[in-house]
A and B are shown apart, each in its own frame.
Chain A
Amino acid sequence: MSARTLRSALVALALVSGAARAGAQPPDASTRPPAVRTRVEPSLPDGPRPAGRVELAVLVEASGEVSEVSVVASAGADIDRAVVDAVRKWVFEPATRDGQPVRSRIRVPFVIAARTAVPLAPPVSPTRQAARPPLAAKAPVPAQKRPAPPASPADAKADADVAPDEERESGGEPQVEEVEVAGVARKPSRAASDFRLDTSILGAAPRANAGDMLASAPGVYVAKPEGDAVAHRIYLRGFDADHGQDVELRVSGIPLNQSSHVHGQGYADLGIIVPEVVRRLRVVEGVYDPRQGDFAVAGSAEFDLGVEERGLLLKYGRGSFATDRFLAIWAPRGQAAETFGAVSVRSTDGFGPGLRGGLSGATNVQYKLRLGRAEHLLLHAAAYGARANVAGVLRRDDVSAGKVDFYSAYADPSARAQSAAASRVQVGVSFERRLAEQARVEAAVWFAQSDFRSRLNYTGYTQRSRIEPAWVGRGDLIEQSNADTTFGARASYRSPRPRILGLLRGQLEVGSEAKTSGIDQAQNLLRAPQNETWDQRVDAAARVTDIGVFADGLLSYKRLARLRGGLRADALFFDVDDRLGNFIPSFQKKTHIVGFRRTAAGVAWGPRATLELEPTRWLLGTVSYGEGFRSPQARQLEEGEQAPFAKVKSYEAGVTVNDEGLASGSVAVYETRLSYDLAFDPQEGRLERIGPTTRRGVVGVLRGKPTPFLDGMLSATFVDATLDSPPPPTPENPTPPYVSGQSLPYVPPLVLRQDVALHGRVFSLFDKDVTGRLGWGTTFLSPRPLPYGQSSAAVFLVDALASVRRDVVELSLEATNLLDTRWAQTELAYVSNWDPTGVPSRLPSRHLTAGPPRALLLSLTLHL
């Protein structure tokens, strides 16, 4: 590098850094622009050249890398190419919003002198308009007066040598003509346990599916014990949320929970989400937001979809257990991050001796259509299908005795006949219009169609046919089917935020949300391998309609205090055609025709409120209260019954400290009281009531980003979850599995989670930087209490990934259960008989579903 080039580089660096500092006071205090961290000089063609000007539009990813460079103003093809090649190697401190890195678009003009090139303008702050979420508006920015960058005498000399004319032309000020900071509106926090997980944390560890992303939220443990085609079981802060009964799950605003699903109330399959297109996950632990609806008992989780890196991504992975995964994402350049198409297909033999094979596929498509400066439509479509074999449960004593291998299944036709299949299609259209003074109108309609069929055996050979009582011992292979068609809509209006009484500001939002579901479901017992039906347990159709309204207000006093809250009310209507209702046992005289049609309705309402006190910019105290509900299983309602909603009351107080994005931490204490809880009944393969429950706990979170290449999050959640008043003993069940005051079964009292991500440039190869990523996630679960005084073993798991990328090619290796821990995903305690030729035990025994052993997946990705 010549001395002249070196000087010009120093000048450019001074300009960049100085301007970045000057621009570090953006109009919107929550937004910070990108700043150059690593700069590469253009290598201009030899020979004489005229002075000129090149202007580039540069897209800076949330990682700080440059993903797109296009020429806005040209100084000739050769010079343009040299400048573009150089800028592609620049690395930025990414723009941030609320301390979180976001994607940004900037313009960088270069002044071309006789023999070199100097960047005229560094990235500067976004304007208030450009930063206004969620429009990600591209707005011209007038030149901003700012102090001259602090320059050394050498700098000043170089400055004078290199670009005196251009600086005079621009008034001696760097000039930036466009800045875009991408992102969506950050919904206001409702509690200290209102967690936002971005791609940095979500991408730290391998995620086989979107459900695994929930594991990074504090206090969450997810498992998939029933194979790839059955939804995750979710445990959240002392709740056994089963397949979604206590967690409201949404993707792009569309609810995933299914009312009155035969496999479990609130069943929600996250398989429909392609994990690579999740750009943000919000997990609210508790019920404090009036927008939280049915099933928001332990809390809610919302997946926000978007693709930051534009272009075409093709990825193929091959790994353990003959696992193949193909992923394609097309994110057309020039479009918003919400516009993309993604498809993934995965096939596997599964771990163990070929008993968990499956095939699944999902596609997510979104298109954001701008209708004007303040309006847009978001079109969303997604589809998912999966089928997988299921190995099922094993008795722990059989494993210990060597009767069956830990990763295998019983050598029994009924055990080997287990499988599940599921599909879902959903489409939605949402409209948003931003009005003056932060007012807003939103509306959306959506449709979803889901099918589910499973054949699962939890108990072996214990059941007797109710249709034909003489039929017994044919295998407890429970076949469940559920078909659900749901239409939904929502609309809301948010008022401007006027001043009230001088110092206060107020705002009100009112909205409504409605959905109606038509459900057809059945549950039978099958005899394998003949596939003969030998009992019918459920044959029903239901229509469930939920109409919810909410009002949410805000009252703020400067930055010091904010009171948010309001009221939500949901009216639910049930129409049930129970085709096996009023069942006539075979030993009774037939006196009527079997069947029972009934209707029921009920209203659930609950206040929610959050008080935030922010005495300094780094300290935030939050007190939250809310009441939520879970709708009942339609089939369990009687004619005219006031629908007995499960009501939850959540209390939380917490403190958050935030050190300007470098580190943050929070600690919160909480209590939740649930009017009645549900627990898995293996004999029926579904959820049954176990009475009111209480949870008290504390959750602590540390989030640190001490350097641009290191990001980490550590959380610990402790909960004391107890049964307050389980069902009393009955003549049929004088010693029920649950007693008052006992620890809630299946729920780990202590959950620890750590996610760490490292990324950055590793070395250069053939003039291209090779960047690397290294990340891992660790989970610790304390022993989980089980019914009948038993408890499961503690679990410690490590997942890790490593990747290197040069230009468009990336090679990655993902490892789940890196330590090859032998662990049980779930453990249950109940009576079973898996030995048809032996003497059956009628003692409750521990049963487990094996967790996956170490699995590797090597993937090749092309970023085109």
Chain B
Amino acid sequence: MKPPPRPHMLSRVSALLAAALAFGACVTSSQAEVSYPAYARPILARTLLAQNGWTVSVSRADVAFGPLYLCAAQSGSATLCETAVGEILRVQRVDALAGEQPLGAVRGLEGPIRSAGYDMGITWFDTQTSATPAAAAPDGHSVVVEGVATRGADTVPFRLVVDAVPQFQGQRAVPTTKASGVVTSGDARLDVTFDVTRWLASVDFDEALARPERPAVLDATSTAHATMLVAIKALAPPKLTWGP
């Protein structure tokens, strides 16, 4: 005998379906995306003391910075940090004689940052056949400093250019440098300090004095270039600090 319909059973099934629907949007996820501003904070006295008693008066100091990749790994190299937790993709020209200035926005994820890798206006990406200066790089260089070096009666106007070139294709100019910060929200801010005073203080301008042309041009063939590069990369690299 055919049993009578039991609509109440079906309505219970429907009620359970509705309950399931109510939970449909509940998901748990990992790191959230953030975006926060970055600022350049150059340190440069207009007159400073360099090696061998040279006093330097600076009339122009431009620094190219970027792109910047922030990594959670202890090393920010391309091979050890394939996935970044933050980045600034633009190349920004920083006027080291000016005050604080924006570097752009950091896009990334919440979480700890332990290292960084960056270029200084000259890139050699995977898809570039050679190292290439960015449009924003001052005169196609990483750093350009112009001024006058004075020691006693010797006065030498100079133009010092530095090219921070990646060592090989796919590498950053500064493959990895220590950084320490924890980003928990988009309220963060990144300050990048460029101690240009310490960079110039490492240069001996005797080399400039010996050069015939005026202003003396200290380029990639010069000792000053190498000295400055060591200062930029190792002695006083750009310092990254995170704050509210």
Name A residues whose Cβ lies closer than 8 Å to a Cβ of B. Answer: 461-462, 464, 470, 472-473, 616-619, 657, 659-660, 662-663, 665-667, 683, 698, 700, 702, 716-718, 720, 722, 729, 731-735, 737-739, 741-743, 749-750, 752, 782-783, 785-791, 830-831, 833, 836-837, 839-844
Contacts and interface: CB of A to CB of B under 8 A. Distances in A.
A657 B31 contact: no
Nearest to B110: A789
B125 interface: yes
B13 A665 contact: yes
Contact of B108 (A618, A750, A752, A843): A843
B224 interface: no
B127 A734 contact: no
B3 interface: yes
Contacts of A717: 20
B153 interface: no
A472 B6 contact: no
A685 B101 CA distance: 43
A211 B29 CA distance: 30
A663 B30 contact: no
B21 A657 contact: no
Given A742-B30, A843-B84, A657 B169 contact: no
Looking at chain A's contact residues, the main secondary structure is: loop
Contacts of A787: 30
Contacts of A617: 3
B163 interface: no
B186 interface: no
Contacts of B108: 843
A657 B13 contact: yes
Contacts of A782: 24-25
Contacts of B147: none
B137 to A, nearest CB: 13
Contacts of A683: 82
Nearest to B25: A782
Nearest to B119: A839
Nearest to A751: B24
B235 interface: no
Interface string B34-77: 00000000000000000000000000000000010101111100
A716 B80 contact: no
Given A837-B127, A843-B84, A749 B6 contact: no
Interface in B74-88: 74-75, 79-87
A843 B112 CA distance: 15
Which 6 pairs show the lowest CB-CB distances between chains A and B?
A: A473-B126, A750-B24, A836-B127, A718-B20, A842-B84, A735-B72
A472 B171 CA distance: 11
A739 B30 contact: yes
A204 B11 CA distance: 25
Contacts of A618: 3, 6, 9
Nearest to A837: B127
Given A702-B10, A702-B14, A782-B25, A841 B20 contact: no
Nearest to B114: A734
A843 B87 contact: yes
Given A734-B73, A788-B31, A842-B84, A700 B17 contact: yes
B29 A698 contact: no
Given A783-B25, A839-B125, A841-B87, A831 B82 contact: yes
15 contacts: A472-B169, A618-B9, A700-B13, A731-B75, A734-B74, A734-B114, A737-B83, A743-B28, A743-B29, A750-B21, A750-B25, A788-B33, A830-B83, A840-B127, A843-B85
A716 B83 contact: no
Interface residues of B, number: 59
A791 B21 CA distance: 18
A461 B69 contact: no
B181 interface: no
A472 B10 contact: no
A734 B5 CA distance: 60
B109 interface: yes
Contact of B87 (A662, A837, A842): A842
A735 B111 contact: yes
B27 A791 contact: yes
A791 B29 contact: yes
B170 interface: yes
Interface string B137-171: 00000000000000000000000000000001110
A669 to B, nearest CB: 9
A718 B9 CA distance: 20
A833 B73 CA distance: 21
Contacts of A840: 125-127
Given A735-B72, A842-B83, A789 B13 contact: no
Interface string B105-126: 0011111101000000001011
A461 B126 contact: yes
B22 to A, nearest CB: 9
A789 B5 CA distance: 48
Nearest to A748: B24
Contacts, number: 176
Contact of B30 (A660, A718, A734, A788): A788
B27 A743 contact: yes
A789 B3 contact: no
Contacts of B234: none
A394 to B, nearest CB: 18
B210 interface: no
B28 A722 contact: yes
Given A732-B73, A843-B87, A783 B109 contact: no
A665 B13 CA distance: 7
B100 to A, nearest CB: 24
B64 to A, nearest CB: 13
A741 B29 CA distance: 8
B73 A473 contact: no
A839 B89 contact: yes
Given A472-B169, A843-B109, A732 B21 contact: no
Contacts of B24: 718, 749-750, 782
Nearest to B84: A842
Nearest to B134: A839
B21 A718 contact: yes
A840 B67 CA distance: 9
Given A472-B126, A841-B89, A843-B108, 4 more contacts: A462-B82, A716-B17, A789-B32, A842-B87
A84 to B, nearest CB: 35
Contacts of A732: 73, 80
A716 B21 contact: yes
A789 B183 CA distance: 15
A729 B90 CA distance: 29
Given A733-B73, A783-B27, A788-B109, A700 B20 contact: yes
B30 A833 contact: no
B127 A663 contact: no
A666 B114 contact: no
B13 A666 contact: yes
Contacts of B29: 742-743, 785-786, 789-791
Nearest to B80: A732
Contact of A839 (B71, B90, B170): B90
Contacts of B87: 841-843
B20 A842 contact: no
B109 A662 contact: no
Given A782-B24, A788-B31, A657 B123 contact: no
A685 B234 CA distance: 39
A716 B26 CA distance: 15
A788 B29 CA distance: 7
A841 B69 CA distance: 9
B5 A657 contact: no
B127 to A, nearest CB: 4
Nearest to B107: A843
A15 B21 CA distance: 50
B82 A842 contact: yes
A683 B31 CA distance: 20
Contact of B20 (A750, A788, A837, A844): A750
B28 A667 contact: no
Contacts of B85: 735, 843
